[in-house]
């Protein structure tokens, strides 16, 4: 490596001109992150709904 080359420069492709494969990998990575976030939020919402359901059905059982 010459003194002019920086260690911060990308090893593959060019930051200003990424290859199609690099763009595709970035898109896939972003999609995986979005899916994980959506799954966590959906799981939290499901837990909230089940808790609410149990609260409501508990009240009905006590009325009987």
Mean pLDDT per 10-residue section of the chain, whose length is 64 residues: 58 73 95 98 98 89 64
* Complete DSSP assignment for 10-45: -SSSBTTB--HHHHHHHHHHHHHHHHHHHHHHHHHH
| pLDDT computed for residue 16 by the predictor | 79
Residue 35's CB: how many other CB atoms inside 10 A?
A: 10
Task: Report the residue count for the chain.
Answer: 64
CA gap 16, 9 in Å, rounded: 11
pLDDT for the residue 27 = 96
Predicted pLDDT of residue 31: 97
pLDDT of amino acid 64: 58
Task: Report how far apart, in Å, the C-alpha atoms of 28 and of each of 24, 25, 40, 47, 49 are.
Answer: 6, 5, 18, 28, 31
pTM: 0.59
* Domain residue spans of the chain: 20-64
């Amino acid at each position: 490596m010459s003194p002019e080359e920086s260690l911060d420069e990308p090893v593959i492709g060019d930051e200003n001109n990424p290859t199609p494969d690099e763009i595709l990998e970035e898109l896939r990575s972003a999609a995986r992150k979005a899916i994980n976030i959506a799954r966590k939020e959906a799981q939290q919402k499901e837990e909230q709904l089940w808790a609410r359901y149990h609260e409501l059905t508990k009240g009905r059982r006590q009325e009987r």
